Amino acid sequence: MSSFFEPLLVTVLLLNMFVLGASRLRAVISASAAQGVCLGVLAVTAHGELSPAVIGIALAAVATKAVVIPRLLYKAMRDVAIVRDVEPLIGLIPSLVIGAVGTVLAVVFSGTLPLPGAHDGSLVLPSSLATVLTGCIVLTTRRKAITQVVGYLILENGIFILGLSLLDAMPFLVEVGVLLDLVVGIFVMGIIINHVSREFASTDAAELSELKE
């Protein structure tokens, strides 16, 4: 484990806070892309030796999380002409505070959830839990369908961090499967957003609750 490891995890945490505090949609998407880059570098630094599997996962993570998916989202923003504001259901400051409290709780409670191997006592588990929680907050408190996609993406980033510590145990195929899963999810969401906007002229998630003939 190199000395970059913990600062990188902290960068992921800082990006979580940025996502919760940002008011612009583009900024939120860019932050999730930056998180993807961090995860790629993390995957390399988490393991001392550079095996093909590690490099493969790192490259795949950066390619999907930092290049392909953000581009799809930007394209969706352009095509559907989504307004650039985030439109949170609760204010930005409350979501920041909830995120921070969640992060602190993740740090406190991760002590009781020991990880296998060398990562015991490091920031891996807290940052993973905090990132999943951030994803949940974005998923539940943002009105737009596209921010829900970003929330899903961040949640998935959290799971990826957890997967990093299990990389030796977890087969390569599982990781790739997760990434594929993600792209498929984004595609489906993109299609849904497009479809919804064509049919109903609104991608406000609050209005998706009513079924119509």
Residues in the site for other proteins, rule: CB under 8 A? 3, 6-7, 9-11, 13-14, 17-18, 21, 23, 92-93, 96-97, 100, 103-104, 107-108, 111, 123
Give 111 or 171: the residue with its C-beta nearer to other proteins.
111
Tokens 């296998």, residue located? 116
Q: Which is nearer to other proteins, 125 or 149 (CB)?
A: 125
**Is residue 43 classed exposed, middle or buried when 0-12, 13-18 and 19+ CB atoms within 10 A define those classes?**
buried
Burial class (CB in 10 A: 0-12, 13-18, 19+), 165: buried
Q: Which one, 21 or 185, has the nearer CB to other proteins? A: 21
192 neighbors 149 (Cβ within 8 angstroms): no
Min separation Cβ 121 and other proteins, Å: 9
Q: Do 143 and 88 form a contact (C-beta atoms < 8 A)? A: yes
Residue 183 CB, nearest approach to other proteins (Å): 30
- What is d(CA 36, CA 76) in angstroms, rounded to the nearest whole number? 19
Q: How far is the CB of 92 from other proteins (least distance, A)?
A: 5
23 or 202: whose CB is closer to other proteins?
A: 23
Q: In whole angstroms, how far apart are CA 78 and each of 19, 138, 180?
A: 20, 21, 24
Q: Shortest approach of other proteins to residue 157 CB, angstroms?
A: 18
For 101-118, letters b (16+ CB in 10 Å) and e give: ebbeebbeebeeeebeee
Rounded to a whole number of angstroms, the minimum distance from the CB of residue 1 to other proteins is 12
